[in-house]
A and B are shown apart, each in its own frame.
Chain A
Amino acid sequence: MSTEKTEREPLFSPKYRKLLTTPLGRENPITVQVLGICSALAVTAKLEPAFVMAISVMAVMGIGNVVIAALRNTIPPRIRIIVQLVVIAALVILVDQILKAFAYDVSKQLSVFVGLIITNCIIMGRFEAFAMANKVWPSFLDGIGNALGYGWILIVVAFFRELLGSGTIWGYAVIPSSWYIDNGGFYSNNGMMILPPMALITVGVIIWVQRKRDPELIEEN
């Protein structure tokens, strides 16, 4: 028997923890890598769908990264994109079917977004950039980390869009109804906030704040 033992890294070593935390800030998929913008615009008019979308992306990304990392040495490079797409599509359909059977109400809200997960470039980006070259556990952490980084931006954007655009948070009215002009007040919801362009501007503001606080992100030109 060999006495030599390869050192196993603990499950949450600093290196692995970093996989979880860097996508939240410095390597955020939306604000720094500018991936997944399209779905960030589409699903953030309300907080609840944004939240459900974040959870679903996390499920697909975590499992998908694990599957791809497990298969990484068998996947022929020439068809790797096709393999990645098949894995994503299969997972998304599976998630949709399970939701339809056991969480019908949630699935009704999700219907549109489930399809959007397939086209989310973050997922394929992570498969291609990370899971194809790393072991299963770090890939799993990377998937969850990126999904979190994507999710918190979505939720922040949705919070402001719903608050300013509809005067509600998670569907509950937070602006007192006596404030509204219709009821003799001074306030009116900003209808523009619920239109997609304002999501882009809100994301822009987040990027601005982030770069102000972390000047290393600013490119030289």
Chain B
Amino acid sequence: MFTNRYIFIYSSVMVIIVAAILSTAAMVLKPYQERNIAIAKIQGILLAADTVASADNAEALFNQIILEELVIDQDGKVTGRFSKGQLTDGNDRAFDLSLKKELYNKRQDNPYKVPLYIAETDSGKIFIIPLLGKGLWGPIYGNISLKADMSTIYGAEFGNDKETPGLGAEISGRGFALQFLGKTIFNEQGQFVSITVKKGGVGTMPADARIHGVDAISGGTITSDAVTKMLENCLENYVAYFKSQQ
């Protein structure tokens, strides 16, 4: 028979050993994981610029394609500029901004900053905007790029951590993202309308609104609505900047 004393000692020792193993593993593996996350971020940005990068060439391609990284404040003013590996204006690099923190500041009505990447492609300059939002079970994110007119979508890419596979998680598929190409975020009067992910399909929208809509995912309505919300919440931060550039 085991005494209480034995049980206490046994469980304490077990927990300490497990904790030691897990924290060692976490510490040893952290640099690799952070590098993977940074590379995934770069790959996402490049995908919105219609460039598929592997883990090995992502950084090189990023340096080659991205002309400038801008930090834009809530009033649409540029407060940081980073290009060709150098900070030329301000003291923030857009790539190092935490979108999560900035969107939190926005919700709290505090001053906030958002990153914008400007890239050169065969069809001219494009503006790449990172996205972050709340899905059904966890975060959803992505990147969307606009053509030089600052309204027509050039490329898009979405990802998720915890959406239901086969349903909400389908937003990460290329098929969903490709629907966005050619849609516009401003209407003909120049008002910001964002993009709506429409349950039942764009066919159910008024004819003049279809250019601002894409089809939702069957069985993934909540995630689809979350994408709509994310797009509006993230894109609207750039409206003032785009207006000032036109």
**Stretch from B32-40, B125-133, B182-190 that touches the partner:** B32-40
A76, A83, A98, A166: which contacts B166 (Cβ < 8 A)? Answer: A166
CA distance A90 to B18 in the complex (A): 7
Closest to A48 in B: B165
- Binary interface encoding of chain B residues 25-36 relative to chain A, with 1 for a CB under 8 A from any of its CBs, else 0: 110010011001
Residues of A within 8 A of B21 (CB): 90, 94
Number of A-B residue pairs, CB cutoff 8 Å, is 79
Q: Cβ of B148 < 8 Å from any Cβ of A?
A: no
CA distance A101 to B55 in the complex (A): 13
B25 touches A97 (CB 8 A): yes
Instruction: Tell me the residues in window 167-221 of chain A with beta carbons closer than 8 Å to chain B beta carbons.
Output: 191, 194-195
Q: Cβ of A93 < 8 Å from any Cβ of B?
A: yes
- Report the minimal beta-carbon distance from B214 to chain A, rounded to whole angstroms: 16
Which DSSP category, helix, strand, loop or mixed, fits chain A's interface? helix
- Binary interface encoding of chain A residues 88-101 relative to chain B, with 1 for a CB under 8 A from any of its CBs, else 0: 00100110011011
Q: Cβ of A82 < 8 Å from any Cβ of B?
A: yes
CA distance A120 to B159 in the complex (A): 26
A101 touches B29 (CB 8 A): yes
- Binary interface encoding of chain B residues 152-181 relative to chain A, with 1 for a CB under 8 A from any of its CBs, else 0: 000000010110111100000000000000
A46 touches B11 (CB 8 A): no
Instruction: Tell me the residues in window 27-78 of chain A with beta carbons closer than 8 Å to chain B beta carbons.
Output: 42-43, 45-46, 49, 74-78
CA distance A104 to B21 in the complex (A): 21
- Report the minimal beta-carbon distance from A38 to chain B, rounded to whole angstroms: 14
B29 touches A45 (CB 8 A): no
Residues of A within 8 A of B37 (CB): 104
Residues of B within 8 A of A86 (CB): 14-15, 18
- Report the minimal beta-carbon distance from B190 to chain A, rounded to whole angstroms: 35
Closest to B28 in A: A101
Q: A86-B15, A86-B18 are in contact. Are A76 and B10 (CB under 8 A)?
A: yes
CA distance A66 to B22 in the complex (A): 19
A45, A76, A101: which contacts B32 (Cβ < 8 A)? Answer: A101
Residues of A within 8 A of B162 (CB): 111-112
Chain B: residues with Cβ within 8 Å of the partner, total of 30
Closest to A102 in B: B32
- Binary interface encoding of chain B residues 121-152 relative to chain A, with 1 for a CB under 8 A from any of its CBs, else 0: 00000000000000001000000000000000
Q: A43-B165, A97-B26, A111-B162 are in contact. Are A104 and B36 (CB under 8 A)?
A: yes
Name the residue among A165, A191, A194 with the largest chain B CB count within 10 angstroms: A194
Residues of A within 8 A of B26 (CB): 97
A112 touches B165 (CB 8 A): yes
A90, A101, A191: which contacts B218 (Cβ < 8 A)? Answer: A191
B166 touches A45 (CB 8 A): yes
Q: Cβ of B7 < 8 Å from any Cβ of A?
A: yes
Q: A79-B11, A90-B21 are in contact. Are A46 and B33 (CB under 8 A)?
A: no
CA distance A98 to B40 in the complex (A): 17
- Report the minimal beta-carbon distance from A141 to chain B, rounded to whole angstroms: 25
- Report the minimal beta-carbon distance from A167 to chain B, rounded to whole angstroms: 12
Instruction: Tell me the residues in window 8-65 of chain B with beta carbons closer than 8 Å to chain A beta carbons.
Output: 10-11, 14-15, 18, 21-22, 25-26, 29, 32-33, 36-37, 39-40, 55
Residues of B within 8 A of A83 (CB): 11, 14
A76 touches B2 (CB 8 A): yes
Residues of A within 8 A of B90 (CB): none
A-B contact pairs, 25 of them (CB 8 A): A42-B164, A42-B165, A45-B164, A45-B167, A49-B165, A76-B6, A77-B2, A78-B2, A78-B7, A86-B18, A90-B22, A93-B22, A94-B22, A97-B22, A97-B26, A100-B29, A100-B32, A101-B32, A101-B36, A104-B55, A108-B161, A112-B162, A112-B165, A161-B166, A194-B219
A residues bordering B, Cβ < 8 Å?
Answer: 42-43, 45-46, 49, 74-79, 82-83, 86, 90, 93-94, 97-98, 100-102, 104, 108, 111-112, 161-162, 165-166, 191, 194-195
B residues bordering A, Cβ < 8 Å?
Answer: 2, 6-7, 10-11, 14-15, 18, 21-22, 25-26, 29, 32-33, 36-37, 39-40, 55, 137, 159, 161-162, 164-167, 218-219
10 nearest CB pairs, A to B = A45-B166, A101-B32, A76-B2, A104-B36, A101-B29, A194-B166, A90-B18, A76-B7, A100-B33, A101-B33
